[in-house]
Structure 1
Amino acid sequence: MENLLQVGVITQTHGIKGEVKVFPTTDDVNRFKKLKNVILDTGKENIELEIEGVKFFKQYVILKFKGIDHINDIEKYKGKSLLVTRENAVKLGKNEYFIADMIGMKVITEDEKEFGRLKDVLATGANDVYVVQTLDNKEILLPAIKQCILKIDIDNQIMTVHIMKGLLDE
């Protein structure tokens, strides 16, 4: 399992005093208010940054980091990910999982036949949609509803699904 989880991506600078616009990749943007530190993934190294200020603007979070006081100090990090350790991640409820822990898990049907691998999770309005790469390299979209997703076993990396009638061209 991943120890670092993404909470946002720096999209651009905001003003000239070192603030950045962050596109949140977390379900709860208000978590930034309680967050004290994030880890900046530069692609070469991880840098721990202390959050000094949090504001919200449209779908973005505006962050100010301690010690970064000029646009030139932060501009080079546009497009880079902001991460948190698993200990600083939001607490999950029952039947909730981190996407990072699910990607790549084996997908089997209810009669225990291997179906494919979970490739991606799409966040739609009503419910998530799981993108499954089948054994014959097709992509199938499965709604993340209890009628379709019967069991998720994070420890063994197996998802058991019910393939609804009409989903596959047979």
Structure 2
Amino acid sequence: MTEYLNVGKIVNTHGVQGELRVLSVTDFAMERFAPGNELALFKPGEQKPTRVKILTHRQHKNFDLITLENVYNIKLAEELKNSELKIERDRVQALPKGEYYHHEILGCQIVGEDGTVVGVIKEVLSTGANDVWIAKGANGKEQLIPFIPSVVLDVNVADKIVTIEIIEGLLN
């Protein structure tokens, strides 16, 4: 079964010519929404995607505006509101060493270099300077782990284990 990753959500229409307002959730918007690219469109409540082809893409304020093949008026565009745009996992390009997609990090267990279990990564926050991983421990407490070299010693996405140095004041 094909696995898909979210790249954006159609939140509204823009104008009357079928342009769609997309709230992007990808770091690669220029590539994902490039004219000619194909994505999987999941309408609300549907499990099976429809293949769509991007015709145009531009950015406007905090949104990506796209047009799709065969969506040429507001009536057709309205039918796509709240749909998810996704890409097949096997079409995702490799990142440079030391960089990870959020889906690779989520669910990883964080352990100290001494074997202390800190918790499981439930969320990734992008702060601008560095990501912060929110891990939930067995005791239910949330731990904030900064993704910086002095704290994160090793990331093994295959085994879903992240090893950190537990510096003073890091854990609550």
Match of 2:39 in 1: 38
Q: Offset at 1:101?
A: 2.0
Q: Offset at 1:113?
A: 2.2
2:34/2:54 contact within 8 Å kept:
no
Match of 1:4 in 2: 4
User: Which of 130, 134, 138 is the aligned partner of 2:133?
Assistant: 130
Q: Offset at 1:14?
A: 0.8
C-alpha distance in 2 between matches for 1:165 and 1:94: 28
Q: Give the alignment's TM-score, normalised by structure 2.
A: 0.88
Q: Give the alignment's TM-score, normalised by structure 1.
A: 0.89
Note if 1:68 corresponds to 2:71: yes
When residues 35 and 145 of structure 1 are mapped into structure 2, their CA distance, relative to the original with a 3 A threshold, is: farther
Match of 2:13 in 1: 13
Note if 1:57 corresponds to 2:72: no
* RMSD between superposed Cα atoms in Å: 1.8
User: Which of 96, 119, 123 is the aligned partner of 2:122?
Assistant: 119
C-alpha distance in 2 between matches for 1:71 and 1:34: 20
C-alpha distance in 2 between matches for 1:8 and 1:34: 16
Q: Offset at 1:79?
A: 3.0
When residues 63 and 153 of structure 1 are mapped into structure 2, their CA distance, relative to the original with a 3 A threshold, is: same
2:144/2:171 contact within 8 Å kept:
no
Q: Offset at 1:167?
A: 2.4
Deviation readout 1:74-121 (Å, 9 max, x if unpaired)? 324333321111343243111122211221111111112222100010
Instruction: Give ranges in structure 1 of 5+ residues lacking alignment.
Output: none
C-alpha distance in 2 between matches for 1:54 and 1:150: 39
Moved more, 157-166 or 28-37: 28-37
C-alpha distance in 1 between matches for 2:171 and 2:127: 21
Instruction: Give ranges in structure 2 of 5+ residues lacking alignment.
Output: none
Paired amino acid for 2:109:
K
Structure 1 SS opposite 2:58: strand
Moved more, 46-55 or 35-44: 35-44
Structure 2 SS opposite 1:72: helix
C-alpha distance in 2 between matches for 1:71 and 1:130: 40
C-alpha distance in 2 between matches for 1:79 and 1:25: 14
Moved over 4 A (4+): none
Deviation readout 1:9-54 (Å, 9 max, x if unpaired)? 2121111222111122112332222661111122313111111111
Structure 2 SS opposite 1:49: strand
C-alpha distance in 1 between matches for 2:137 and 2:35: 40
